[in-house]
Amino acid sequence: MVRRNFTNVPDFILTGLTDSAETQLVLSVLFLLIYLITVLGNSGMILIIRLDPQLHTPMYFFLTHLSFLDLSYSSVITPKTLQNLLTSTKSISFLGCFTQMFFFVVFIATEGLLLSSMAYDRYVAICSPLNYPVIMSTRLCHALVTGSYVMGFAYSIVIEISMTRQHYCNSNVIQHFFCDTTPILALSCSDTSEAEITIFICAGANLVLSLITICASYMFILFTILKINSTAGKKKAFSTCASHLLGVTIFYSTMIFTYLKPKTSYSLGRDQVASVFYTIVIPMLNPLIYSLRNKEVKNAALRVLWKRGKS
């Protein structure tokens, strides 16, 4: 391909996950099924929490926003991926590519911060149960959620600015199935060190801030649980944070593997598998994790269905 500046050209080309037509068909069916479960699961979670007054607590307030974020960043990636799998057109406009990247970073960064807020909520619930209603006030909950969104947007704006300042003239073919930072930077013919450092600092700051909060919260939770004398009490305390801890482990393991490493260690096949997991699979898993292991959500769903059936 002729070397030229692609900064102002109308589109990029996404190579996708595979060139095999049979594999593309299988993946399209699989991803469509996963996306439908994601939409139904997260929408259902939001609806149940909104309709059932017994779930109007801080924990479920955070869970509502977690479901919204999962639904949002899955919708930013999956429909375009399905289109590329089902059609011969693999192009995405320059503006569309950077818009996709912008909102993906917003939602993924916000989710990381929201998970740390949920960890703090579990810390207060277990370590200071008598003061829980006072500490986890409506004002604080709204402040934590709003702060997560604001910081998510701030991270994304900084990264987007650093990316758009690059000159793209090596190729317009993105070796990925969506517009992510690393494969886009690979197309740059200018010095990418500043952009790489910016992305590393933003991603690192988000992950470190979130993980410090989560680890500190669960360290105090563990100390508190160990002081509980009854086995039933310990089991109940563990069950209140088991779903969140599982969700955190799955989310951050893929994030750290994908983003906290230099561009030189980028591997197309390995990173695409990890990307499929955190962009398409995890948004489906979260509502399953938080509902299947939670009796309150199950009972709330039954109450909502019972009321709807009677009406």
pLDDT of residue 269: 63
pLDDT of residue 156: 95
Whether the model pTM is above 0.85: yes
Cα 214 from Cα 221, distance rounded (Å): 10
Cα 27 from Cα 86, distance rounded (Å): 10
Each residue of 268-282: pLDDT tens digit?
Answer: 566 788 888 888 998
Each residue of 93-105: pLDDT tens digit?
Answer: 988 999 999 999 9
CA dist list (Å): 85 to 13, 26, 28, 45, 224? 13, 9, 6, 29, 50
Packed helices 94-127 and 193-227: angle between N→C axes, nearest 10 degrees: 20
> In terms of Cα–Cα distance, which of 65, 73, 254, 43 is closest to 156?
73
CA dist list (Å): 305 to 18, 48, 50, 56, 271? 42, 9, 13, 18, 41
Each residue of 167-192: pLDDT tens digit?
Answer: 887 678 888 899 988 888 888 888 88
**Residue 299: pLDDT band with limits 50, 70, 90:** confident
Cα 110 from Cα 145, distance rounded (Å): 9
**Residue 2: pLDDT band with limits 50, 70, 90:** very low
pLDDT of residue 6: 47
Q: Please provide residue 179's backbone torsions phi and psi, each rounded to the nearest 5 degrees.
A: -85, 90
Query: Which residues, in sequence order, are CB contacts of 233 under 8 Å at separation 6+?
Result: none
DSSP 204-218: HHHHHHHHHHHHHHH
**Residue 200: pLDDT band with limits 50, 70, 90:** confident
Q: Quick check: 236 pLDDT over 80? A: no
Fold of 11-310: Rhopdopsin 7-helix transmembrane proteins (1.20.1070)
**Residue 259: pLDDT band with limits 50, 70, 90:** low
pLDDT of residue 293: 61
Query: Which residues, in sequence order, are CB contacts of 304 under 8 Å at separation 6+?
Result: 47, 48, 51, 52
pLDDT of residue 207: 86
Q: Please provide residue 232's backbone torsions phi and psi, each rounded to the nearest 5 degrees.
A: -65, -40
Domain segments of the chain: what residues? Answer: 11-310
Q: What is the largest CA-CA distance in the chain?
A: 72
Cα 46 from Cα 68, distance rounded (Å): 7
Q: Quick check: 262 pLDDT over 70? A: no
